[in-house]
Amino acid sequence: MEEKHKKGTALTEAWGTLADMNGKIYRTEEDACVAKEAAEQARDEATQAKQEATKVKEDKKAAEDNMVLLIEHIRKLKIELAASKEINAGIKAELLDQAVVQGITEENEREAHKELKKEQALSRSLSDDIECLKRALREKEDTIL
């Protein structure tokens, strides 16, 4: 009987150990499923990260291309600005020359106007003198006759 009891105890222990082992196997299988899902998720995330990195590289390339175009456009605008400044300087010089010419013309007009007034005054004075001489000549003629 004691041997039966020992066998029963051993059998119970074996069943307990077997149950523990089955529990551990079940938990290990669950852990393996979780690990597999985590690995799949990590692969999906890695794939997404690679796609995002590719997109970032493409965006960077596009930005660099745009930067090159902008730099070229800025260079052309600077050339146009320099040409415009040169044209503006020429226009300013012409305006200055015109202002000088206009000033000289106005001064010449003033001088001509003064001369004209002098000539008119002289002409009136000579006309008055001639009238005086004519009267004097008539008076002498009248006296002679």
Q: What whole-number distance in Å separates Cα of residue 46 and Cα of residue 17?
A: 42
pLDDT the model gives residue 141: 82
Q: Per residue in 2-39, pLDDT tens?
A: 777 777 787 788 787 877 787 787 888 888 888 899 99
Give the pLDDT confidence score for residue 108 in this predicted structure: 94
Helical segments of the chain, H only = 2-144
The predicted structure's pLDDT at residue 29 = 82
What per-residue confidence (pLDDT) applies to 7?
75
* pLDDT above 90 for 56: yes
For residue 144 the two structure tokens come to: 């002679």
**Could you report the per-residue pLDDT of 63-74, keeping only the tens digit for each?**
999 999 999 999
What distance in Å separates the CA atoms of residue 51 and residue 61, rounded to the nearest whole number? 15
**Mean pLDDT throughout 112-132?**
92
- Looking at residue 145, what DSSP letter applies? -
Identify the residue with better confidence: 60 or 4.
Answer: 60
